[in-house]
Structure 1
């Protein structure tokens, strides 16, 4: 995810302080991985340097000065271009899981046990996501569906790999 573009998009609704941007980001996108304040401010500094945001106001407070940022026309154009560009599909041709299966076979370890352990972990995660989806709003339901569909595809791959494990073992050990 492009944090810079996401923060720019959030600024389109109006100027905000860094802590407001963090709170909104975390609420909308950061359920599992909230932003650190330092990440927000370093990103805003970079966007300011690149002319995509400007300081709308500086307010004195009990602590350090608080800057309120506003998106510039160049920032709006940048967000429009980013949103219009399709994301590259990720084929996962060099996945860590595949690497672990091959290494297990090459080193004489049980790839079947590895696949079973991974299947158990995927199912645990899927149960957790189904529960989160059940309790969540529509946005949370959609992000959970996205993750669940990927996990389902992984489960299908785990089944295929398990069915072919003997043949794969012969090929990688040859």
Structure 2
């Protein structure tokens, strides 16, 4: 999971409390899997236990006390190591989309698989249009735009796969009984 390392990255800009880290995460990675407040504080606890962050004070801004965390030297080293490591491409295909198509073919036959593929293609195309609009919205940040570009590239790849799969399934001949 990359959330602990993203929190280290956010702390590289200076000490922050958990609530501020959560808001910065949401602003910085607007299309990423949401990170709950409980997860932020649990992650900060693990990062503190591992010596990557330390409590550096408390803030009170008209509300409850908030513990402020700062990056340690070890935390900075760990962040630098992570940023310098190339991500390996995923070794396995793990997609609900792929699994549903294969199961539809096995369990229900080509007609059901084609119906599912057509519905999925429609949903992907709608999401693609929405992301394209997001990029053009006034006030879209660079984070919004690059996150939308990333999602668009993945949707485009899925749409290419969906089109090829629809063609293959449509051409599929029923197997001869054994």
TM-score over 0.5 for the pair? yes
Alpha-carbon distance, 1:58 to partner: 3.2
Query: Mapping of 1:14-163 within 5 angstroms?
Result: 14-31=14-31, 33-59=33-59, 64-90=64-90, 93-109=93-109, 110-135=112-137, 136-163=140-167
Aligned residues: 173
- The answer for unaligned runs of 5 or more in structure 2 is none
Alpha-carbon distance, 1:168 to partner: 5.2
- The answer for unaligned runs of 5 or more in structure 1 is none
CA distance in 1, matches of 2:173, 2:64: 62
CA distance in 2, matches of 1:14, 1:90: 33
For the residue of structure 2 that corresponds to 1:164, the secondary structure is helix
Superposed CA offset, 1:8-54 (max 9, x none) = 11111111111111111111113564421111110100000000001
- Compute the RMSD of aligned alpha carbons: 2.4
- RCO higher in 1 or 2 (8 Å CA, sep ≥ 6)? 2
Superposed CA offset, 1:63-98 (max 9, x none) = 654211110000000000111111121365242222
Superposed CA offset, 1:93-133 (max 9, x none) = 24222221222122234111111000000001001100101
